Amino acid sequence: MKNITALYNNHLFMSAFYKGISGLSLFVSIRLLVDYLGTENFGVWVLIFSLFQVILLMDFGLASVLKTKIPVFLHEKKIDLLKSYIKTTYIISFTLGALLFIAFYILCYFVDFQALLNIDFHSKSFVNKLFLLNVLFFCLNFAVNIQKSLYVAFLKGKYAEESIAVNQFGFFVLLLIAVNFWKDISVENKLLLITFINGLFSLFINFIYTIAFFKREKLNLKTSLKTPFSYIKNLIHLGSKYMFIQLGLMVVFTSDNYIISNAFDTGKVAVYEVVNKLFQFPFLILLAALSPLWSMFAKNYIEKNKNDLLSSFKKFNMFFGIILLAIIVLGLLIPFILSIWLNEKIIYPEFFILLFCVVTLIRIYVTFYTFFLNGIGKLNLYILLVLVSILIKIPLSYFFVALGFDINSVLLSSLIIMLLWLISIPYYCYKIVNKII
């Protein structure tokens, strides 16, 4: 019983556990979505969901700043300033959400998403309506989604991952109901139905966990202290750096779907995304397990715990050997998993799985060290690397497309970028830690 209690109280373990539940729920949801919508329309949904990720990151990095600054306030016992900081973050986030929706509403009159993404099997008006409706739900989730960063900042990251797991599992259950009760409606109505299910349920779960956070921490935002302008300026300055990094990562990795859609068709987006989700499973589990380290790194760096930081690096390097074996096994099992997971046969080019393995491994290794840089706010080298990656990602991908590498093109461009990161980021992290006196 003590061992079980110890595991439950271990936020690294429980974060990984909840991410596993999220991943499994996602896998079965994908199977239902592919069967329910068909390959091409599932590709449309993937493009919409990718847009959702972009919108959530356009918060000027405010959520990321919370994970870095709150441990500092707690360490310095500045509770009123902490309350004011959180309140300011919510106000700015709600304002940004409203402005983003207005911006996308106007954008829909000038951008033809149907032509841009090769969605020629739906009308222009339907495609724009579908995108705009999803943007509305995503913007409503904009501020309430902050609860995840608050849990991580208070070193209770397992609850952030728990909320994601509940959301993903709940979406699967609701999708299962929809598939059985509304299976004969038009595909347009199916896409709209899934939009409402995903948007409303996400909003509900984020709201519930936001209330739970403030009750659990016995924290309210009542304070007469106004956040000093210098703090707001610092919040926006540091947050803008985080937002640039986050958007840059979206360009490097999520733009793959849009490049494939533009260069080929949405059917190949579905092929890429199905395999991508399988490789994201171990990556997201490890990302969830590592997420509490963001604020832990911040705390140890503030307290100048050099040995603890170096020990964390060493433990991860040793653990990476297990990750390497796990990804190799996953790569070998992919063809078998696909054969029993989906009704339709997935056809992909030669070396597709191998490239996914290599890119995933490098990305996992580098991500650990970027968590350290994010946690301590040392972002200049990271930003430079992201900038270079943004500049070369799309032209490099189309260069490989022109050479006839099919959808391997986006993976080859990612591989070149990740090799650059692999050479630079870990070395920079060790250099920072070794300077601590």
- Rounded distance, CA 397 to CA 260, Å? 9
Asked whether residue 74 is domain-assigned, the answer is yes
Q: Which two tokens stand for residue 422?
A: 């692999």
Average pLDDT across the chain, whole number: 82
Specify the pLDDT at position 85.
81
Specify the pLDDT at position 355.
93
Regarding predicted confidence, which is higher, 237 or 90?
90
Asked whether residue 5 is domain-assigned, the answer is no
Task: Tell me which of 53-62, 90-99, 122-131, 272-281 is least confident.
Answer: 53-62
Judge contact between 245 and 379, C-beta under 8 A.
Answer: yes
Q: How many domains does the chain have?
A: 1
Residue in the structure block whose two tokens are 């080859």: 412
Question: What mean pLDDT is predicted for residues 335-342?
Answer: 78
DSSP state of 377: T
Computed on alpha carbons and rounded to an integer, the radius of gyration of the chain in Å comes to 22
Share of the chain above pLDDT 90, in %: 18
Asked whether residue 244 is domain-assigned, the answer is yes
- Rounded distance, CA 260 to CA 50, Å? 13
Letter string b/e over residues 197-236, b meaning 16 or more CB atoms within 10 A of that residue's CB: bbbebbbebbeebbeebeeeeeeeeebeeebeeebbeebb
Question: What mean pLDDT is predicted for residues 349-354?
Answer: 88
- Rounded distance, CA 291 to CA 144, Å? 19
Which range of 27-36, 240-249, 314-323, 341-350 scores highest in mean pLDDT? It is 314-323
Q: At what angle do helices 187-216 and 39-57 cross, to 10 degrees?
A: 30
DSSP state of 253: I
Question: What mean pLDDT is predicted for residues 12-28?
Answer: 73
pTM of the predicted structure, to 2 decimals = 0.67
- Rounded distance, CA 231 to CA 150, Å? 18
Asked whether residue 234 is domain-assigned, the answer is yes
286 has pLDDT over 80: no
Specify the pLDDT at position 357.
92
Asked whether residue 2 is domain-assigned, the answer is no
Which range of 62-76, 208-222, 232-246 scores highest in mean pLDDT? It is 208-222
267 has pLDDT over 80: no
Asked whether residue 1 is domain-assigned, the answer is no
In the chain, the amino acid numbered 174 is L
- Domain ranges, residue 378: 10-434
SS3 call for 368? helix
The confidence band for 118, taking pLDDT boundaries of 50, 70 and 90, is: low
The confidence band for 7, taking pLDDT boundaries of 50, 70 and 90, is: low
In the chain, the amino acid numbered 410 is V
The number of angstroms, rounded, from the C-alpha of 158 to the middle of its chain's C-alpha atoms is 16
1 has pLDDT over 60: no
Specify the pLDDT at position 56.
56
The confidence band for 2, taking pLDDT boundaries of 50, 70 and 90, is: low
Say how many C-beta atoms besides its own lie within 10 A of residue 27's C-beta: 17
13 has pLDDT over 90: no
Specify the pLDDT at position 346.
75
Sorted by sequence, the CB contacts under 8 Å of residue 1 that are 6+ apart come out as: none
Which range of 41-55, 192-206, 226-240 scores highest in mean pLDDT? It is 192-206
Asked whether residue 316 is domain-assigned, the answer is yes
Specify the pLDDT at position 372.
87
